[in-house]
Chain A
């Protein structure tokens, strides 16, 4: 009996060990390029580890039963007449409930850190007096240390392109240029069907809906060029509906802006 328990403990610790090792060493995610991304990846790792423990545990239990309790050729008769075990059943109701509860609270915390529970405000001069109802996206807290400056962009999507309007410079661009470590606040609206704005490296996505503006805020942290991908089926060329976001340092961004601006503003 004692022997059995030792084996059990050994196996359970192996499952935990393997799961933690895989969870923290196997990277399944693309590069991290916004302040959302490391927060997301933390959540991912935790869920991955918990998931692996449960999956490996259940799979082992099934495979073990198939070998251990296999009926031998000449064997007759039945298994044990065990119809249930209330305390076991209570245990495996309570433990998953607790796990799920903890995951829920934790992911609420993650979501809050991503800015999901913050009041949305699209700080935009031209529409500050406008009280239109705007639906959520992710809003980064504006008191964030890194994100001091605010860049406002108006995104419009249509079959099969994104257009980025920089109201300050009164110009429209097909590429989204943003300065690194600045909070970007986008107001998005679709001209025809539903599209979505997805940047995998930023771990953010928001649908772009006709007749219903949505807001998405983010803060890029890594210089580079990343794909903007439409994630909502929008017609035959949906798979080709791409744009690029170019995260550059402050001065490059200023150069680009000044080259394109239509009005005399200075950055």
Chain B
């Protein structure tokens, strides 16, 4: 642990360009890589959002009149794939993980900096390739789930490019996961115990375990699927004796854990944000840790709740109902603990706080519909309808994306040394919150009353509600404008934030903002009470 700082500086200067150019380089600095993930992910978010807007324009009228039918299916496939694999997963894991984890464990970089850079640089080419497939023979059009035999019988080039692209992104995710596990377990500053780590470390540890355990299954499945497509093997092709339901089992064995890969890191981030802005310790640290691990374990054994209508035997339906319902328990604990964290605090109502509270409200809603969906008899009616679309957008957008924005408001001063504007931030929050709920709440009703998902046309009696939903989507699109303006203004001539504008205690704030290349001048501080807020704590947090 006695790395000479001066030598490191030299190394960095020799290896990497300076200034903004380093963001386009094969940088080994975890902070640069984190920002690369963030910006790259946000660009893909804009593309995915454009596709979503096209989908909502199509759905503003009952006929299929805006996009050709096959293009509509390509758009919804690309939208789902981009949002999951190129925006949510890279940003909540890659961006925040890379930026924060080394600070949290008191290290100067990740355990494997080169692997880290490789993991990032896999993303832009696979993303671009995926989008380019649209211009070849048309992109994949079997949904982000790519169920065979549809994925075997639709145009091949698009589907194959989709598979290669998802395989590379999965690889990137595995590299990242290995790196996080190694960093958290092995690179902790001497004297720092696991149970003293900020909660985001635990969230990333759990997430990375899920990544490492389940992503290889997806990779294997997609490789078999690609054999079926190009080499005419019969793993999943019923014409050749294959079994299509096996694909679904394998796919969801990854993809249910994947939903936790998208949301556990957000649980971690909100656990960092709430204590700072309500000036109170995180409520129930230990139960939070156990509930993360509980979610990880349970999350691995619930996948077939996506297949209740696929023709699964009754005992299996029952088992997965019960396992899935029980995930609500550790998840619920976390939410009660967050509300208890707010309770009795001195809450600053700022953009970061508002987005975090929006997250709690939205996620609770999505969790409740989730528990309902876990009940087989309930799910049989609404499976594959707009009810499910509403459920998972409440979780993924109302939950994770809200936390991404909350985190940007919270850590922007750390990264740039500038504050973001509060007025624009609150406008951003208001439009996003209203637009989001307007867009997705009505979709529950649509699903219950007979509108299936993934359709370009629907019955005329659903038009009014679909138009409300489309207006909500329009608001969501508009809400990115104040956000981008805010970022732009702040980067141009934002107010200086100082090193620690929030008076936070977690280690990333105990250095300059933006931090030096080696994270701290001198040794890393030993923070044993990352949430030591509250009046009686002021002296407890010793920096060594």
Contacts and interface: CB of A to CB of B under 8 A. Distances in A.
A45 to B, nearest CB: 11
A192 B149 contact: yes
Interface string B140-155: 0111000101100110
Interface of B: 64, 69-70, 72-73, 141-143, 147, 149-150, 153-154, 238-239, 241-245, 278-287, 309-314, 317-318, 321-322, 325-326, 328-329, 332-333, 335-337, 339-340, 342-349, 353, 357, 360-361, 364-365, 368-369, 371-372, 375-378, 380-381, 383-385, 444-445, 448-450, 452-459, 531-538
A180 interface: no
A210 B281 contact: no
Q: Is the interface of A mostly helix, strand, loop or mixed?
A: mixed
Interface string A73-116: 00101111111110011001100110010011001101100101
Scoring A44, A84, A85 by chain B CB atoms within 10 A of each residue's CB, the highest score goes to: A84
A234 B332 contact: no
Given A209-B310, A239-B458, A28 B345 contact: no
Nearest to A197: B309
A12 interface: no
A114 B380 CA distance: 11
Given A83-B285, A209-B310, A209-B311, A70 B347 contact: yes
Interface string A40-75: 100110010001001100110110011001110001
* 5 shortest interchain CB distances as A-B pairs: A81-B534, A211-B238, A239-B455, A135-B311, A79-B345
Contact of A205 (B241, B343, B361, B383): B383
A239 B286 CA distance: 49
A31 to B, nearest CB: 10
Contacts of A88: 336, 340
Contact of A210 (B238, B282, B457): B238
A interface, size bucket = 35 or more
Contact of A114 (B142, B239, B311, B377): B377
Interface of A: 28-30, 39-40, 43-44, 47, 51, 54-55, 58-59, 61-62, 65-66, 69-71, 75, 77-85, 88-89, 92-93, 96-97, 100, 103-104, 107-108, 110-111, 114, 116-117, 135-138, 192-194, 196, 198, 200, 203-207, 209-212, 214, 227, 229-240
A205 B150 contact: no
B326 to A, nearest CB: 6
Scoring A85, A117, A232 by chain B CB atoms within 10 A of each residue's CB, the highest score goes to: A232
A116 to B, nearest CB: 6
Contact of A103 (B70, B325, B448): B325
Given A79-B534, A204-B380, A233-B147, A55 B452 contact: no
A47 B141 CA distance: 35
Scoring A110, A210, A214, A231 by chain B CB atoms within 10 A of each residue's CB, the highest score goes to: A231
Contacts of B280: 78-82
Contacts of B450: 30, 200, 227, 229
